[in-house]
Amino acid sequence: MSYFLSNQNIKIPNMIYGTAWKKEQTADFVYEALKSGFKGIDTACQPKHYQENLVGVGLKKALDEGLKREDIYLQTKFTPIDGQDKSNMPYFQNDTLELQIQKSFAKSKKNLNVDYIDTYILHSPIFPASKLLRAWDVMSSFYKNKEIGQLGISNCYDLDVLEYLYKKVELKPSVVQNRFYAQSSYDQEIRVWCKQKGIIYESFWSLTANPHVLTNEFVKHLSSKYKKSTAAIFYKFLNQIGIVPLNGTTSKLHMDEDLLIDEFELEKIEVENINFLLK
């Protein structure tokens, strides 16, 4: 796989396997993805939507069969209390924010059977701003302890919030991970800003939110021209405009097809034509 280089000089694979909503099959899908050739895994300490412990099981199985930890990019998230199922959280409701983050991070390392996580992501902004900075300060301590390589933030669609965070903190964000959909105008301003700051923009829901792209006649033409699936065409397009997509497929066939995006390059006019579909 090819890679994107973050502002912390960390190599991020050009496509990351997403583990949300895999439930009891999580370990099998993670193992299959890694054996198929995925070099990046995304998860979260949020039992409501992720089985992070089973991500760890799938990862361990692949490592036991010869895959090297240093060849795998691993990112997980601290999910604030508003995003948790309060009957099943990695911390207690009455814990301080600082303790919530510390407990969640410790749980993630235990779940994943690792002592180092490449990117630790704040799953959503926390308000007011003072709490956001408190959270970031605790997360930054993991970087200072060499337990993580960099920090990121997810589900942040307000450029003002990102600019505020960037200005106020010592350890700058290295990743912004957002839903890639029309309702946010595909984060066009945020993506320009990220590029200026050396921040890697990761997209999720890339296929689900954009069926009009996959069924477009021009994209179908490119699929025929390059002998690749329409999904692979779209993933390649995302790479060529500077985006690292998350891929949550549960199909071995689709894993194999999607991992072929390094085999071809879209022409400039083809990228422009697909980009027009996102206006």
Tens digits of residue pLDDT in 171-221: 999 999 999 999 999 999 999 999 999 999 999 999 999 999 999 999 999
- Please determine, for residue 1, whether its predicted confidence score (pLDDT) is greater than 90: no
What residue has token string 């895994």? 41
Residue 234 lies in a domain: no
**pLDDT computed for residue 197 by the predictor:** 98
Predicted structure pTM score: 0.98
Residue 145 lies in a domain: yes
Burial 52-61 (b: 16+ CB within 10 A, else e): bbbbbbbbbb
Residue 164 lies in a domain: yes
Average pLDDT score over residue span 250-272: 98
Average pLDDT over the chain, rounded to whole? 98
Q: Where does residue 169 rank: exposed (0-12), middle (13-18), buried (19+ CB within 10 A)?
A: middle
| Number of domains forming the structure of the chain | 1
Residue 262 lies in a domain: no
Residue 147 lies in a domain: yes
Question: What confidence tier does 279 reach under pLDDT thresholds 50, 70, 90?
Answer: confident
Residue 44 lies in a domain: yes
Residue 237 lies in a domain: no
**What CATH number has the domain bearing residue 185?**
3.20.20.100
Residue 183 lies in a domain: yes
| Containing structural domain, residue 76 | 3-206
